[in-house]
Amino acid sequence: MNLSRKTVLVIISTFIALVFVVAAVSDIILLQSFSGLERKILAQNIVKIVNEINETYPEISASARDYELLIEQRGLSFITSLDIASFVNHRVDALLCLNRDGQLQAGRAADFHRRLIAEFTPAERDDYQRMAQQGFAAPNGQAHGLAFAGGVPVQFTTRRLDDETLLLAARRFDQHEIERLKDLTHARLEIRRAADRDLPDDFSRALAGFDTTGFFSEVLPDQQIAGYTALKGSDGSPALLVRLSEPRLIYEQGKTSIYYIFFVLLVSGLVLCSVTLMFIKGAVLERIASLGGRVRQISDNRDISARLPVEGEDELEDLATSINTMLESLAKAETAMRESEERYRLLFERAPDSIIIIGLEGEQAGQIVAANAAAAEQHGYTIEELCSRTIFEVNTPETNQIAGDIIQRISAGEWVTFEAWHFRKDGSRFPIEVHAGPLTIGGKRYLIGFDRDITIRKVTEETDRMYLDQIHQLNSELARQASELEAANSELETFNYSVSHDMRGPLTRISGYCQLIIDEQMAADPALRTYMSRIYESSCWLNEMIDAMLQLSRLTRAEFVPVQVDLSALVEECFRDLQIMEPDHHAQLVCRDTATVVGDRNLLKILIANLVGNAWKYSSKVPDPQIEFGILTDKPVPVHYIRDNGAGFDMKDAGALFTAFTRLHDPGQFSGTGIGLATAKRVVLRHGGKIWVESTLGGGATFYFTLQPDCESFQAA
């Protein structure tokens, strides 16, 4: 090729390269523009959603103003009588009046989207109290913001009714509100709580990467683009994370346009290249054809020692030189391959595990065509003897039953691992673990298997199986003993119930006759009257003991029916019963909290009756007796307590307090059967909770109990 043709070729090639470079740069700029445009649109939609959320607060404030006017006309009691229509009309879910101490004066909850009246949970009450404190701290008592009530995001606003009372109105930021926001942009909207520990990775990146405007965007793997922003809570920290995602339509349309541009350039380049090839055909292609013929001749003769003639001073000369260099490399590679084959042959022969190659086609199907020394030694043959046999002669009959399926799977290209049994030359059997797969050598298909003798492992497994059988036998024996123990307990309980009933008849007769003698015949003899009175009192006490024993035995058989139970109402009911029975005992009841739990109402009434009765009895001898009921909410589960300021006891005796028939005071001081606290403990245990006591001698006692499991972490406290 002369200099002019080379120059023309260089100019044409440079022109084509410049065209493609310009096109590539332009495409990159266009793609960046499309990407920026779709991010701008996404940011505008995010702003639209945030504005819509912020516009909710004036609506809630207007609703609160309406309720404020109604309260001025009708009073606070008006709130508790609100129906669902009022909540739907004002689009609020909660309305509360609270004082500066956080106490709820009046309140009503609903789900206006579903048109249902609801109840406040304890967690919601605590959260609304915190929102009310923000209202009291705000100028004119007017505050609004985003917070959480019982774990659910709410938008709230407050209005001060007077110096001591605050009105709070709230709307849940639930799925219905989210669906309403989706309709603004017709894009996919997802909202997560910023404090969640299991935030998806993209939300975590957004939380850490918001720009000065509070916006963050990124491209999702499924050809979606997502924009993020944070909704701040009433305390100023991010409360909710908002993600708006939509398909990258603008970006994809831009890419399609770019593809069209590249296609036009490609067609233009092909046309230009065709012209160029025709131009250089006479000067270049003939020499290339000559070189190609020599290369084919070398290939047909398989003579890599031959070399091409080197002529001229251009690229074809470099090509011939490169081919000669390649031929030299092939010669070196052939030598290296022979050395590699020798190494692999040595590895095959010296491998410690058995290696067997089996034919899969034609006359060699099933024939052992190669085996290493380890395989021959494992089977007790020489290598030549083993290679003269088929795999079916080495397999045991049960292994041959599955051999056909395994060979078929390997023929399909699968590697399999399985256990089998083989014969040794002396006829003995031994287990092996086989890892086998397909092998192709010289266009023929074979099976290669790596075998390992697992006799020791099988012996170990059999030993383990024997131990497991022994364990199963022991478990069966334990189950039988448990069944016998349950039957014995049932018989003992039946015996206790029968004896208690059999004792009641004689006791009733003894107490009756004693009462008759006292009333009619012995008024003149004071000493004898005293003796008969003691007999009567003892029979009455024994009758009470029988009733307590029967009640204690019934607790284990009573059906457990869980329902919502108001514990504070049970405490007040039991206290009123005691006041009716003993009007001269002027005790004061203080209920610190309202407690609603899930449990069996009958059993819980027995529990409360015993604990309140215990406090009533042991506070009867102090000047100002007081019984207090409350809840500790700073523990993992609610802890209820009943406290009195009565006689108390020394904590060194607390270990025996919940044992039946155990009393820490003399019967002359305080009456009782000694079964009440044992009954209380059994009720608590049936609810999965725990009960304990704290007391000082002369300083009263406090009985704590829970009605949920897992209280050990704070029981000691």
Domain ranges of the chain: 55-171, 178-250, 351-453, 459-532, 559-715
Model pLDDT, residue 703? 93
Percent of the chain topping pLDDT 70: 78
Q: Which of 67-76, 222-231, 523-532 has the highest mean pLDDT?
A: 67-76
pTM summary value: 0.37
- Residue 82, Cα to own-chain centre: how many angstroms? 39
In our burial notation (b when 16+ CB lie closer than 10 A, e otherwise), range 675-689 reads: bbbbbbbbbbebbeb
Asked if residues 151 and 133 have their Cβ atoms less than 8 Å apart, the reply is no
Please provide the CATH number assigned to the domain covering 351-453.
3.30.450.20
Element containing residue 225 per DSSP (H, E): strand 224-232
Residue 525's region, left for phi above 0, alpha for psi from -120 to 50, else beta, is: beta
Per-residue pLDDT reduced to its tens digit, 689-717: 999 999 888 888 999 999 887 645 444 43
| Arithmetic mean of pLDDT over the chain | 80
Asked if residues 642 and 627 have their Cβ atoms less than 8 Å apart, the reply is yes
Per-residue pLDDT reduced to its tens digit, 561-586: 889 999 999 999 999 988 888 888 88
> With 80 as the cut, is the pLDDT of residue 522 above it?
no
Q: What is the C-alpha to C-alpha distance for residues 597 and 601, in angstroms, rounded to an integer?
A: 10
Confidence band, pLDDT 50/70/90 cuts, at residue 314: low
Q: What is the C-alpha to C-alpha distance for residues 233 and 632, in angstroms, rounded to an integer?
A: 28
Confidence band, pLDDT 50/70/90 cuts, at residue 602: confident
Model pLDDT, residue 639? 93
- Residue 701, Cα to own-chain centre: how many angstroms? 42
Question: Which homologous superfamily is 559-715 in?
Answer: Histidine kinase-like ATPase, C-terminal domain (3.30.565.10)
For residue 120, report the phi and psi dihedrals to the nearest 5 degrees.
-75, 135
User: Average pLDDT, stretch 521-538?
Assistant: 63
> With 80 as the cut, is the pLDDT of residue 245 above it?
yes
3-state secondary structure 15-79: HHHHHHHHHHHHHHHHHHHHHHHHHHHHHHHHHHHHHHHHCHHHHHHHHHHHHHHHHHHHCCHHH
Q: What is the C-alpha to C-alpha distance for residues 391 and 244, in angstroms, rounded to an integer?
A: 65
Closest CA to 219 of 35, 29, 32: 35
Model pLDDT, residue 714? 42
- 347 or 206, greater pLDDT: 206
- 98 or 264, greater pLDDT: 98
Closest CA to 45 of 232, 223, 233, 245: 245
Per-residue pLDDT reduced to its tens digit, 605-636: 888 988 998 888 888 888 889 999 999 988 88
- Residues with Cβ within 8 Å of residue 306, at least 6 apart in sequence: 297, 298, 327
Model pLDDT, residue 566? 92
Instruction: Give strand pairing partners of 330.
Output: none
- Residues with Cβ within 8 Å of residue 553, at least 6 apart in sequence: 493, 496, 497, 500
Q: How many CA atoms lie within 13 A of 277 on its CB side?
A: 7
Confidence band, pLDDT 50/70/90 cuts, at residue 487: low
Model pLDDT, residue 715? 44
Instruction: Give strand pairing partners of 588.
Output: 626
Model pLDDT, residue 29? 74
Per-residue pLDDT reduced to its tens digit, 129-184: 989 898 888 888 888 989 999 889 999 999 998 888 999 999 998 888 888 888 88
Domains 55-171 and 559-715 share a fold: no
Identity of the amino acid at 642:
I
Q: What is the C-alpha to C-alpha distance for residues 231 and 241, in angstroms, rounded to an integer?
A: 6
Element containing residue 420 per DSSP (H, E): strand 416-423
Confidence band, pLDDT 50/70/90 cuts, at residue 2: very low
Burial class (CB in 10 A: 0-12, 13-18, 19+), 587: buried
Closest CA to 70 of 106, 104, 102: 106
Q: What is the DSSP letter of 671?
A: -
Q: Architecture of 55-171 per CATH?
A: 2-Layer Sandwich (3.30)
User: Average pLDDT, stretch 493-516?
Assistant: 64
- Residues with Cβ within 8 Å of residue 23, at least 6 apart in sequence: 261, 262, 265
Confidence band, pLDDT 50/70/90 cuts, at residue 193: confident
